[in-house]
Structure formats: structure tokens, C-alpha cells
Amino acid sequence: MHTVIFEPMNILLIGSGGREHALAWKIKQSLHCNNLFVAPGNAGTAQLATNAPIAADDFVQLGSFCLAQKIELVLVGPEVPLVKGIRDYFAADEKLKNILMVGPGKTGAQLEGSKDFSKQFMLRNNIPTAKAKTFYSNQTAEAEGYLEKLEPPYVLKADGLAAGKGVVISSSLAEAKATVREMLEEKKFGDASAKVLIEEFLDGIELSVFVLTDGQDYVLLPEAKDYKRIGDEDTGPNTGGMGSVSPVPFASSAFMKKVEEKIIRPTVAGLKQENISYNGFIFIGLMNVEGEPYVIEYNARMGDPETQSVMMRLKGDFVELLMACAKGELKNHTLEIDPAYVTTVVMAAGGYPDAYEKEKVISGLGDVTNAHVFHAGTKLKDGKIVTDGGRVLAITGKGQSLVEARSHAYQAVSKINWEGKYFRSDIGKDVLKIHTSQNLES
Ligand code: AMP
Ligand code: GLY
């Protein structure tokens, strides 16, 4: 790790979820952080930074705030401001253009903002991914005809951003046809489903891989496994993510070598070759199909709740890393990773991912000892911390083994209460089985 000398600076972090609380927690540990602001933040970020009540996509207000507070570095947490072009907005303004930013421009963010764009990008660059065909809103009949020729399960994806809900997987042809009609004709996801991809089903185990690139070079952050379904044993509807673990046993060095060679390097090289300047995180959702990696999706940001686990294992000064990225100096920057095991369990509001109630008083936060509590959907009301979203808290436990990490996380979960709290009780359990069988084999 090289030593970088610069004056402590004022930093703005954009976003309000558990991911942002974890990023804020890591930024605050840096010697280079003077004042940290989070816009709009949550009750957790308020404990270690100053929340600024500005929406994540209100570029005008965010720009004025940066000038007023002499912000030198902006880290963009969620996808919406990236896809709407926050980087381009800052770059086009004389007074804002010299503020350093980590987060890609509008074109690069299309890797997440348009599944059609990212699919074409992968095909052009020979990056392994599921075969897919794109249909437009006047092509419902063609889309239905195409489905008839495929074997179930059917994978349908709205092209644009749909808050994690735009992917429907169905084993019934009738249901798949109805969904494609709803998406294309009835605009189930608004303009996001004006185009729909029908994709080959990949049968395997998922892995989240995180890359930070300055457009030339990149560093690889710790990998994580996300638990997307609401129910234990991966049942029920998809959510933003109900838990995460890191490290992931099947992400062996041999597998990760394939990921770097077949996916990460061609992705960074493809962006460069296509003149898409990209500065920020690339979160690659992968499927391990019998030992071979395939890209399920790209995201132009870190994952939530993967970030909570990843930040817990990342050693070193995070602001130095962000600065190296923003300035295009990632070459020769190495990361030090804690070999410890981490488990993050999301505590959600009862009813999530469908309708749920808000403003339930949260108790027991002060009783947590051996784990870290990251806030997601919380706010302060009358001096009390209350629920303010579907995913409310993310509890991260760390240990010398996965068993210990899980035990720390779940002990903390049992101490925290509010009316209707819900969590999955099996985060990391499948990985534990892989560990156990590997130990038996060795
Ligand atoms: P995405 O929003 O693209 O991450 O998709 C949401 C989830 O749907 C993924 O995390 C996978 O679990 C699943 N998924 C997406 N595409 C495929 C595919 N081609 N085959 C199997 N599962 C998929
Ligand atoms: N946990 C998945 C995501 O952040 O998209």
C-alpha cells in the first residue's frame, strides 16, 4: 500500500440505505475525512455524519450544497442518480467540474440502466452471459411466439430500472406470456418495460463480484453472496436482498481467475475500447454454472446488503482508495483484505416486499454487543428511531469462522425488536454446507 498525503477533505456521500451507512462507516475511519455529509441519509448515518435533506437525484441542490460545504469528493451510492447522469451534470458545470467523483457517467451507467445495452455490450466483447432476445412494445405476438419455442423456466427482464423487480422467472408458459403482455402492452414497469428481454435460464449458484475501476486499471474487492428471495430456503418473491456473506467458498482462486480473465478484464477493456469513460464501481452479478462464470447483470454501484459485508472485510484507508480511483491512479493500488468471515442479516418490515407499515419504534439497539448495526430504512421521530422503509436494518457479524459470524449476527438480531419485524433465519446456511463438505473432502 503506498502512502498518500493530502489534507483531510469534506466528502459527500449520496444515498440513504444500508449500503450508504456501511460506506459512511468506512469513510469515517479514514485519516483523510474532515466533514462527511450524507444526502439524504438515514438515522444511522446521522450518528456518524451530517445528513443533508436533499434527494439523491436533485442535482441542482446537490451541486449548490457541494459548493457551500466545499466538498472535494462525491461518492454516489445508488443507481438512480448515476443513470440520470449526475456525473455529466457536474462535469458540464464550470464550478462543479473539478469536484472529484466516484461513479460512472450516464453512458457507463447504462450497463445497469438498460439490460438491452448491457447484453449487447457483453455480446460485442465476448463476455459469457445467457442468450437473450429483445422485444419492443409492438412485438407482443413475436415475444409470445418466441416463448413457445423455449423450454421452461422462462426468464423475462424489463429493460430499464425497476427497483429490483423487473425480472420475472416463471415455469408456466401461460404465466410467462401474460407477464410479457403486461410488461410490453400495459407497461407494468412504465417506460422500463417498453423493451423486454427473454433470456435463457442459467442453472447454478450466484455470486456478487465487485470491481472498482478508474477506466484504465481496476481493483477487486471481496466477493459476496446475496440472498434475494424473501423466504428461507430461497422461497417467495425477490427483494433487494435479505442478507449476504463473504467470503464465498466456491469463489476459489481458480474460479476467480476465470472471472478475471473471461469477465472483468474484457469488461474494463470493452469500456475503454468503446470510449465509455468509466470511473466507479462495477458490481457483476454472476452465475457459476458447473464451474464456469456467466454474467447475469451489471450494476454501476455497490450492492446492498453486500456492501455491509464487503466493507467489514476491507482493510486500509477507504478514502485513499476512492481518491486513487477518482484521480485515475488505481494502477499499483493494492487492497488488503481481512480473511475473517462475515454474515449480514437484513431485518425487514413485516409485509415487505409488498405493502408494509412504517414508523414502528425500534428497541434493543443498545443491547447489541458482538455485531454491527447498519441502518437502512430508519429515521428519527420525536427522539426515537423508527422504521421508515421495507429493509430496516442490516446486522453484520464477523468471526474466525462462518459459524461464529452467523452466531454473532443472529444473536444481535434476536435483541432488536419492533412490531412486525421479519428476517430470514438461513443466511449463510447453504454456504455452511459447502464449507462442511469441503472440510470432509480435504
Ligand atoms: P437481476 O435483476 O438481473 O439481478 O435478476 C434478479 C435475479 O433473477 C438474479 O439475481 C437471479 O437470481 C435471477 N436471474 C436473472 N437472470 C437469470 C437467468 N438468466 N437465469 C437464471 N436466473 C436469473
Ligand atoms: N443486493 C443486490 C443489489 O444491490 O442489487
Is 234 touching ligand 1 by the criterion CB < 6 Å?
no
Q: Residue 241 C-alpha to ligand 2 middle, in angstroms?
A: 6
CB within 8 Å of 101: residues ≥ 6 apart: 73, 74, 75, 76, 86, 87, 90, 279, 326
At residue 439, the pLDDT reads 54
Q: Quick one: pLDDT at residue 165? A: 75
Site to probe by mutation for ligand 1, drawn from 112, 159, 288, 296 as the one with most ligand atoms within 8 Å of Cβ, is 296
**Is the CB of residue 431 less than 8 Å from the CB of residue 249?**
yes
The confidence score (pLDDT) of residue 441 equals 46
Please give the pLDDT value at position 265. Answer: 98
Residue type, 269: A
Ligand 1 centroid distance, CA of 177 (Å): 18
Structural domains in the chain, sorted by start: 9-105 (3.40.50.20), 131-199 (3.30.1490.20), 205-441 (3.30.470.20)
* Ligand 1 atom closest to 201 (CA): 20
Residue of 244, 218, 221 whose CA lies nearest to 313: 221
Q: Where in 186-291 does DSSP place strands (E)?
A: 195-199, 205-213, 218-220, 225-226, 229-231, 235-238, 243-246, 280-289
CA 75 to chain CA mean position, Å:
14
* pLDDT mean by block of 10 residues, the chain; 442 residues: 71 98 98 97 96 98 98 97 98 97 98 95 96 86 85 89 82 86 79 84 95 97 96 92 96 96 98 97 96 96 98 97 96 94 98 95 96 96 95 98 97 98 97 68 44
Q: How far is the CA of 339 from the centre of ligand 1 (A)?
A: 29
Query: Looking at ligand 2, which atom is closest to the CA of residue 299?
Result: 5
Ligand 2 pocket test: pick from 80, 157, 226 the residue with the most ligand atoms within 8 Å of its Cβ: 226
Tens of pLDDT, residues 238-287: 899 999 999 999 999 999 999 999 999 999 999 999 999 999 999 999 99
57 lines ligand 1 (CB under 6 A): no
- pLDDT at residue number 166: 84
